[in-house]
Chains A and B, each alone.
Chain A
Amino acid sequence: MRQKLWKYVGNIVLALGVIVTAFPFIVMLSVSLQSMNEIYSGELILIPRTWQFKNYHDAMTNGNWARYILNSIYVTGTATVVSLFVNAMTGYVFARIRFPFRKALFILVLVGMMVPPQVTLVPLFVLVKNFPLAGGNNILGSGGTGFVDTYFGLMLPFLAGSFGVFMCRQFYVMFPKELDEAAKIDGCSRFRAFISIFLPLSKAVLASLAVLKFIGAWNEYTWPLVMTNTGSGRVTTVQLALTSFRNEGEIFWNQLMAATIVTTSVVFVVFLTMQKYFVAGILAGSIKE
C-alpha cells in the first residue's frame, strides 16, 4: 500500500519534471507561430489564433540563411568525417603498437584533453591569424588574415582535439592480441590491418563518436565567434547568425524563435535517431581507467 503511494508520488514528480523541462521548447514553438501583436498583447498565449508560418520565411530571408546552413553543414560534416578517421587511426596506434615514447605521447594526449579550450583561445587565435604563408600572410606571418574567416580555420579545433583519440584507444585496447598476429602472418602492414580489420569492427564506437562530434561542432559558438571577428560573414555559421537577431533594435521574437527551431531541428533529428549512440558516447567518455 505504502509502496504504491510512493509510486504515484514518483510518477507525479516525474511528470511535472518533464513538463517543466519541455515548457521552454513548447514556448519556442508557440512564439515562432505567433504574430508580434500576440506577443505584445501581454496575454499568455500558447496556441496562436492563426499560425503564422510566414515567420519562418521572414526569418530565413533576414540574412542569407541558405548560406549559413550550408556553411554549418560543410564545416560540421567535414570536421566530423576527417577527425573521426584520424582519431580512429591514432587511437589504434596507441592501443595496438609498441613504440618508443608511446607512454609519454599518450600522457600528452590526456593533458590536451583536460586543457579547457578557453585557456588556449587567445594564443590559438593569434597563431591562426598570423600563420605563415596563409591568407595573404608573408613567411613571418604578417600582412594578411591567416586562416581567420576560412572554413579551415573554423574546423581547426575539431581536427586537433584529442577526446576522440582517447575514446578510440580505450576501444581498441579491448581486442585480443591474436588479431594483430593473424594480420602479421597474412603479411598485412599495420596500416592495412587498421583499414581492413580494425576499422570495420569499430562501427559502434565510431557511431557514438560521430554523434558527439557532429552535435558538438554544430552547436559550437565561441570559436566561430572569434574566428569571424574581423570578417565579412562569408563563413558565418547558424549559431552565430542566430545571435544577430538580437543585435538589431527591436527584437522580432517570432522570427528569432523560428530561426532557433530551424537551427536546432538538425540536432533534434540526429538525437532522436541516434540517441542510443549518443548516450553510449557520453558514458564511454566518463569511465575512468
Chain B
Amino acid sequence: MKRFKLKHRDAVSAYVMLIPFMVFFLLFVIYPMIKSVLDSFTNYNLYQRDFIGFRNYVRLAQDKIFLRSILNTLVFAVFSIVPLMVLGLTAAILVNRQSKVMYACRAALIYPYVTSMVAVSMVWLYMFDPTNGMLNKILGLFGAPRQWFLHDETQALWCLIVVNIWKNIGYVMMIYLAALQSVPTSLYEAATMDGAGGFRMTFSITLPTIKPITFFLLTTLSVECFKTFEQVRIMTNGGPVSSTTTITHQIYMAAFSEFKMGYASAMSVVLLAIVFVMTVINLKLGRQLEDL
C-alpha cells in the first residue's frame, strides 16, 4: 500500500513538472503539425475554409514552379553535400593536431557556421554584386569578363551552393574531428609497426571507423538542405525566373504573399513526407551499418 502511494506521488509530481513544457509543446508544435495536414485538404485562405479533398495535391503535381522548386532543392542538396563531405573531412584531418595554431584554424573554419544566415547573405550579396562587387573586382584583375552571378539564371543557384558550402564546412569538420579523435591511437601504432604509410592508414583505419558518422552527416545535411529558405529569400527571392526557388520558399510565398494557406499546407506536408522518409532511412540504414 505504501509503495503504491509513493509511486502515485511520483507520477503526480512528474506530471506537474511536465506542465510548463508540455503546454507550449503540444499547443505550438504538435497541434500546428496536425493542423497543417488537415489544412492541406482545404482551400483555407484566412477567410474561408472548405474541404476540397486531394485537389491541392493534384494541383501541386501540375504546378510547374513547385516542381521546379523540388528540382532546385535536389540540385542544391546534391551539389552542396558532396563537396561539403570531402572538404569537411579534409579539413578535419588537417586540423587534427594539438597546437595553438590549429585551435585558431578550427575557430576560423567554424565561424561562418555560427554567423547568422542574414549576415552571411549580406556579405555574399556584396561579393556577388555585378557592378561594385568584390568577385568582379578580382576577376577584373585577371582581365576576365564581368559576371552577373545572382542576376544570371544559369549562375544564381550555383552561387547559393557556394555560399552554403562555405558556411557549413566548419560543421562537418567539427563532427568529423570528434570522430577522428575517438579512433583508438593503438590502431595507428599497430599499423605503423606493420609499415603502413599515412595514405594507407587513412583508407584502412580512419575511413572505415568514421562510416557511421558519415552516414549521420549525410542525412542531417540532406534534411538541412531541404529546409533551405533564408538565403533564398534574402539573396534572390527565388529568381531570376524561379531558378533558385526552393520548397520552403514556395511555402512562404504561397502562404504569406498569396495567402493560400491551404495550398501552402499541402506543400508543407510534401516537405514533411520527404524529411520523414530521410529520417527513417537514417534510422534503418544506420542500424544496419552498426551490424556490419
Of the candidate stretches B59-67, B77-85, B125-133, the one touching chain A is B125-133
Flag if A246 contacts B125 (CB, 8 Å): yes
Pick from A100, A122, A159, A260 the residue with the most CB of B within 10 Å. A122
Flag if A282 contacts B14 (CB, 8 Å): no
Contacts of A264 in B (CB 8 A): 115-116, 119
Q: Is B196 an interface residue (CB 8 A)?
A: no
Q: Is B90 an interface residue (CB 8 A)?
A: yes
Q: Is A42 an interface residue (CB 8 A)?
A: yes
Assuming the contacts A162-B25, A243-B234, asked whether A288 and B166 have C-beta atoms less than 8 A apart, the reply is no
Pick from A11, A160, A190, A243 the residue with the most CB of B within 10 Å. A160
Residue of A nearest to B248 (CB): A118
Contacts of B124 in A (CB 8 A): 24
Interface residues of B toward A: which range? 35 or more
Flag if B28 contacts A156 (CB, 8 Å): yes
Flag if B10 contacts A114 (CB, 8 Å): no
- List residues of B (3-29) whose CB comes within 8 Å of A's CBs: 7, 10-11, 13-18, 20-22, 24-25, 27-29
Interface residues of A toward B: which range? 35 or more
Give CA–CA (A43, B140) in the complex, Å: 9
Give CA–CA (A278, B171) in the complex, Å: 11
Give CA–CA (A186, B276) in the complex, Å: 46
Tell me, rounded to whole Å, the shortest Cβ–Cβ distance linking B262 to chain A: 9
Give CA–CA (A9, B46) in the complex, Å: 61
Flag if B94 contacts A10 (CB, 8 Å): yes
Q: Is A21 an interface residue (CB 8 A)?
A: yes
Q: Which 8 residue pairs are nearest across A and B when measured between Cβ atoms?
A: A219-B116, A120-B32, A123-B35, A160-B28, A123-B32, A99-B11, A90-B21, A99-B14
**A residues whose Cβ falls under 8 Å from a Cβ of B:** 2-3, 6, 10-11, 13-14, 17-18, 20-22, 24-25, 27-28, 31, 39-40, 42-44, 86-87, 89-90, 92-93, 97-100, 102, 105, 108-109, 111-112, 114-128, 156-157, 159-162, 165, 189-191, 194, 215, 218-219, 221-222, 225-226, 229, 239, 242-243, 245-246, 253, 256-257, 260, 263-264, 267-268, 271-272, 275, 278-279, 282-283, 286, 288
